[in-house]
Structure 1
Amino acid sequence: MPTSPLDLLKIDHLLTDDEQDIAATVRDWVDDRVRPNIADWYERGEIDLGLIKEAGALGLLGMHLTGYGCAGTNAVSYGLACLELEAGDSGLRSLVSVQGSLAMFAIWKFGSEDQKQRWLPAMAAGEAIGCFGLTEPDFGSNPAGMRTVARRDGDGWVLNGTKMWITNGSVADVAVVWAQTDPDESQSSRPGAGVRGFVVPTNAPGFSAPKITRKLSLRASVTSELVLQDVRLPADAVLPEVTGLRGPLSCLDEARFGIVFGALGAARDCLDTAIRYAAEREVFDRPLAGFQLTQAKLADMALELQKGFLLALHLGRLKDDHQLDPRQVSLGKLNNVREALTIARTCRTILGANGITGEYPIMRHANNLESVLTYEGTSEVHQLVIGQALTGENAFG
């Protein structure tokens, strides 16, 4: 009797009953609502935005946060949910991750009580969609160089600038936008020391979010540019509890943690597909699964998937114990996304020409993982983070 890849190590034994129940609930929802439709959504370059309210009803939005209508689950449960979501599609996990770990987390962690009460309950329910504006056309890995600026204007602020590659941007109700403030706003000369976060309603005059089209990856995800032209905001639009790059970077750590688990979902779906296909496909009058080279590929991929899961689970337990270091998240994202992409590509070879069609999920996952590999910290950036931890030398720049 064949054994599924994650059952070889009896990994479920490492999870609590509640964690397994959450994973099963999300898996069932993905099977029911996403799998029958995702190939068409991906081909058309769209996603059913009704999923956001359904995700809210399931408690998935900001699920690892407490209060304000959030579920307050542990970090491992959130990670498992990300895994199941990305087994459906990376775009779906991105939708949930940006909502909860970037936009909601920023307000929850650094916002005023008024900002939290205004936005978090609606975002947790999926009644309001959020986005996170940090990356710019010329500044991705070096956010300290951002050109978006916020200047004082009487009691308020005026924002000008452009953000790029913003998930949910053109469908969002609220944007958390990071900008350089006036020089006298910061007493430090460190790059990025004057960066502040702003809670920007997307109906504010001067705010626009053109949708980015012609993507070959993450097609079932809304990706946009944010354009801010003299966007006037009241004084209380600023996130009061943080100044400097520590704010946006800590939000990215939250989202990267979800990716550590999420990428494994895409890999698992590819591997499950390849195993089923190899059992059914006959080559030279034998099942493809009966050939040594096929089994060698499957064994190597199953091993990497299990190792990646154990790494993710370890990081999740550290996070739940409040001991997780951002450098450890870099280890997780670097390894798990890289290995997930390798698994997707190898599974494609098992399916041969069928692997490139939309009838199977493998090429879709592989294309998506190309984006996951570079967003929220490229592999090279994470290598430098780890290298600095090992040597004490800063090799950035």
Structure 2
Amino acid sequence: MALLLFRVALPPLGRVARRTLSLFSHPSPSDWSKVVSDAEKIVGYPTSFMSLRCLLSDELSHVAMHVRRLAGTNHPLLNTARGFVQDSRNNLQTRGLVVLLMSKAAGPSGASTCFPQQDMVSGIYPSQRSLAEITELIHTAFLVHRGIVDLKDWSSSDGPLKDMQFGNKMAVLSGDFLLANACTGLAQLNNTKVVELISSAIGDLVQGIYCESSSAAEESSVTEDTTMDSWEERTFLSHGALLAKSCKAAMELANHNAEAQGLAFLYGKHMSLAHKINSDLQPFVKGSASDLMTFSLNCAPVVFHRQLVGSERWVHQLQQARSTGEHTDYTQLWKAIKADEGVSSTVELCRYHGNKALSAIKWFPPSDARSALENIASAVTKL
């Protein structure tokens, strides 16, 4: 367990004003909120406040008092903190909710001796509820850690330099505190296999985020070996491994067999990939050239486009978009990407992963929990 109690030295974010932290958002807040709300009723647990006990601890309350100094700056830690209080487009606890739904959908196994039957609440073991909270704490810790700003890209419009430096210290301190609490809770589960699964997910997160940061550091460079296969491998590490391995761990806590654990893993993996692809598609399926938001040159539609048109044509399109000045003309690039088949191919890939998630969950017995998992998988493939 001691190996888990380390500081996750994630690379700092690039240009402050350009970056946004990806939570578990959905482009249709009202529909998504209904799916989540209905699912919460099924598990009998207000997962929208799953991490509240930790977030309202004396230690973090003291940190929050100091974070007020960042008001008026563009430090990403402020946006992350606001998301815990109110954010109509995001639900920070969806990962934990999926773990709880998966636990209830599978139910107790015939060999389950973890807890007496009467200890189950709404068909979920206490250890599985603890695992859901641990999953959320780990995810939240990494969100906070990713709010560290690369100060060499700092400009006076972002805020006073001393406040930005202070914000970085708070991001490191708060993220470390959340991760330490998650590791403590993980040890209390007294299950070696679950500890191994979740600790490996933490390692996957670190590796995936480093890969993402390396790709984003020089978006102007063209990496010829960037393919959708490599993009999916990287995205699974940074966005899917935690949920997939948490779903598998939930099955382990109820002593389900390897087949059930594998199906739970596949659901978490494919649902996470479908969600990330959905998020990457939003500027291309919802936006127009007139109100276009900046998109990453390493997002799924762009990677697919680069793979389809080839490096030579992509370099030419990128040079044209930058011929007018120092900054990239995203409107011009958006039009070029929309004109080819990269977007439609990415839509099909999103649906593919959504269908794979649905295929995995259908092997569990019919129930309200399984239906809720199906609704979540379907919701992330709606465009």
**TM-score for both structures, normalised by structure 2:** 0.31
- As a proportion of its length, which structure holds more strand? 1
- As a proportion of its length, which structure holds more helix? 2
**TM-score for both structures, normalised by structure 1:** 0.30
Relative contact order higher in (CA < 8 Å, ≥ 6 apart): 2
